């Protein structure tokens, strides 16, 4: 996985020529119009999303902000942090939905379809011996405690935010 990719279209094409390479995208990968053009060039079956917490959230000044639908209540000072509010300027795990929204908007693809493909990409990289795992195989009300099911449940929950 090429973490935190924010280079050129030419560079992404070179990297994608390497077998098994996935491109990781987060808020800092989505700052400019050029960045969004690069994202358009990444095949969705080679795409990963990330937040790079606590850095690299999507900011109001980013070209990608126009695609963000999900907003989170924020506080201006980390000493006022609470379970229901994010610290302003800090990227948190829940912000991954915003990265997903931007990529879905840029690529003009259904967000649920994109989330499912990225979920399958995640399984391919991090759980390569579990090819038969699919998101519809999981009953979130009847989860056992093994690591794979916990990870799958978390990913599915992120899709639902």
* Whole-number Å distance between alpha carbons of 135 and 152: 7
Average pLDDT over residues 1-9: 92
The model carries a pTM of 0.79
Report the mean per-residue pLDDT for the chain. Answer: 85
Span 19-42, pLDDT tens digits: 999 999 999 999 999 999 999 999
Average pLDDT over residues 134-157: 56
Residue 62 pLDDT exceeds 80: yes
Do strands 47-49 and 74-75 pair parallel, antiparallel, or not at all (unpaired)?
unpaired
Span 123-141, pLDDT tens digits: 999 988 775 555 555 444 4
Q: Which residue has the higher pLDDT, 143 or 134?
A: 134
Smallest Cα–Cα separation from 82: which of 68, 92, 97? 92
């Amino acid at each position: 996985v090429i973490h935190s990719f924010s280079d050129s279209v030419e560079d992404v094409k070179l990297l994608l020529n390497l077998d098994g390479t996935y491109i990781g995208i987060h808020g800092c990968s989505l700052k400019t119009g050029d960045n969004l053009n690069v994202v358009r060039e990444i095949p969705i079956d080679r795409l990963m999303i990330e937040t790079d917490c606590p850095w690299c959230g999507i900011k109001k000044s980013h070209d990608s902000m126009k695609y963000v639908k999900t907003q989170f209540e924020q506080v201006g000072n980390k000493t006022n942090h609470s379970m229901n509010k994010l610290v302003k300027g800090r990227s948190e795990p829940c912000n991954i939905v915003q990265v997903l929204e931007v990529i879905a908007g840029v690529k003009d693809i259904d967000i649920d379809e994109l989330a499912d493909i990225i979920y399958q990409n995640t399984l391919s990289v991090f759980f390569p011996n579990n090819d038969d795992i699919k998101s519809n195989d999981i009953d979130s009300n009847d989860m056992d405690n093994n690591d794979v099911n916990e990870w799958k449940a978390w990913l599915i929950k992120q899709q639902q935010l």
